[in-house]
Amino acid sequence: MKACWLLAALTACLPVRRPSVDLEPGVSLTGYRVFDVGPVVDESGWPFPYPIGDSLRTRLVDRLREHGLVVATRDSTGAPVLRIESRLTYFRGSSAVGLRFGGGIGSSRCRLTSVLHDGATGRRLGEIRAAEDDELAPFTVLMTCARMVGDEVFRRVRGR
């Protein structure tokens, strides 16, 4: 029982993994109120049995909405629109056959890059790069990358 509490305490101290963000000089996302999420392009080369970009886009849209953000292609009130264009640049799935460390399913890894543009001018504002490498199920790792991008957009819009 003591070991469980110690493990929980140590886990709570681990740093939260956040994506890397590169914004152009002087750019702030705090004025954006509407978010236009484009299709996610799969550049990974992984032989997914279905269009994974659709699932990643859906997760990103859902995460933005969970934060109370408006997702649309334009706003009738004239509010600034932030366009998010993403691509899955790398994926490696775990192997259910190649067990390691006494029963784990192996490690899955993804990299998702999202480029941010001003919706009115098309100006490139910056880039968010999310990466995850974990022993989670492959689909969970992919959805974690999309969630990380949505969370970082929210942090930047709120000025955090």
Q: 115-125, pLDDT tens digit by residue?
A: 999 999 999 99
Pairing relationship of beta strands 81-92 and 108-118 according to DSSP bridges: antiparallel
Dist. CA 77–CA 37, nearest whole Å: 19
* Domain assignments of the chain as residue spans, ordered by start: 19-157
Percent of the residues in the chain that have a pLDDT greater than 70, as a whole number = 82
Question: What are the CA-CA distances from residue 121 to residues 2, 27, 140, 141 (Å)?
Answer: 58, 14, 35, 34
- 19-52 confidence digits (pLDDT tens): 999 999 999 999 999 999 999 999 999 999 999 9
pLDDT at 16: 53
Q: Which of 8, 17, 12 is nearest to 151 (CA)?
A: 17
Contact 82, 70 (CB under 8 A): no
Written as one string, the DSSP assignment of 18-85 is --EEEEPTT---TT--EEEEEEEEE-S----SS-HHHHHHHHHHHHHHHTT-EE-S--TT---EEEEE
Please give the model's pTM, rounded to 2 decimal places.
0.82
CATH number, span 19-157: 3.40.50.10610
> By three-state DSSP, how is residue 143 classified?
helix
Spell out the residues 6+ positions from residue 116 whose beta carbon is closer than 8 angstroms to its own.
Answer: 23, 29, 82, 83, 84, 124, 125, 126, 127, 128, 153
